[in-house]
Amino acid sequence: MTTVSNFQIVADRAALVERAATLTVEAIAAAIAQRGQCTLALSGGSTPRPVYERLAAADLDWQKILIFWGDERYVPQDHPDSNARMAREAWLDRVPMPPDHIYPVPTDSGDAAIDAARYEATVRSALGCPEGVPTLDVVLLGMGDDGHTASLFPGTAVLTERQRLVQAGSKDGEPRITFTFPLINGARWIYFWVAGASKQAALGQIFAPGAAAGDRLTQYPASGVQPTTAEGQLLWLLDRAAAQGLPEYLREG
Ligand code: 6PG
Ligand 1 atom nearest the C-alpha of 83 is 7
**Whose alpha carbon is nearest atom 12 of ligand 1?**
144
The percentage of residues in the chain with a pLDDT greater than 70, rounded to a whole number, is 97
**Is pLDDT above 90 for 137?**
yes
Report strand pairing: 7-10 vs 166-171.
Answer: unpaired
Beta bridge partners of 66: 39
Domain-located, residue 78: yes
The percentage of residues in the chain with a pLDDT greater than 90, rounded to a whole number, is 92
Domain-located, residue 247: no
Q: How many residues in total does the chain contain?
A: 253
Domain-located, residue 223: no
Segments forming the whole domain that contains residue 127: 6-193
**Is pLDDT above 80 for 140?**
yes
Question: Burial, 108: exposed, middle or buried (Cβ in 10 Å; 0-12, 13-18, 19+)?
Answer: exposed
Angle, vertex CA 239, rays to CA 73 and CA 45, nearest 5: 10
**Is pLDDT above 60 for 65?**
yes
pLDDT score at 5 = 61
Domain-located, residue 209: no
Closest by CA to 41, choosing from 137, 129, 112, 185, is: 137
**Is pLDDT above 60 for 3?**
no
Rg (CA), the chain: 17
Question: Do 79 and 118 meet the contact criterion of CB atoms below 8 Å apart?
Answer: no
Ligand 1 atom nearest the C-alpha of 46 is 16
> Ligand 1: which of 47, 152, 193 to mutate, judged by most atoms within 8 Å of the beta carbon?
47
104 lines ligand 1 (CB under 6 A): no
> Ligand 1: which of 85, 143, 159, 179 to mutate, judged by most atoms within 8 Å of the beta carbon?
143
Coil/strand/helix, residue 3: strand
pTM beyond cutoff 0.75: yes
Give the tens place of pLDDT for each residue, 195-233. 999 999 999 999 998 777 788 999 999 999 999 999 999
**Alpha helix segments (H runs only) across 127-186:** 181-185
pLDDT score at 212 = 72
Cα→Cα distances 232→2, 69, 138, 163, 227, Å: 22, 19, 10, 19, 5
Domain-located, residue 188: yes
**Is pLDDT above 60 for 253?**
no
Helix (H) or strand (E) holding 195: none
Angle, vertex CA 59, rays to CA 191 and CA 129, nearest 5: 50
Domain-located, residue 35: yes
How many structural domains is the chain composed of? 1
Question: Do 70 and 41 meet the contact criterion of CB atoms below 8 Å apart?
Answer: yes
Identify the band that residue 252 occupies on the pLDDT scale cut at 50, 70 and 90.
low
Question: Do 95 and 62 meet the contact criterion of CB atoms below 8 Å apart?
Answer: yes
**Whose alpha carbon is nearest atom 7 of ligand 1?**
44
Domain-located, residue 233: no
CA 98–ligand 1 middle distance (angstroms): 26
CA 117–ligand 1 middle distance (angstroms): 22
Domain-located, residue 186: yes
Ligand 1 atom nearest the C-alpha of 148 is 10
Cα→Cα distances 98→62, 64, 68, 87, 102, Å: 8, 9, 13, 15, 7
| Residue 165's CATH number | 3.40.50.1360
CA 145–ligand 1 middle distance (angstroms): 9
Give the tens place of pLDDT for each residue, 111-136. 999 999 999 999 999 999 999 999 99
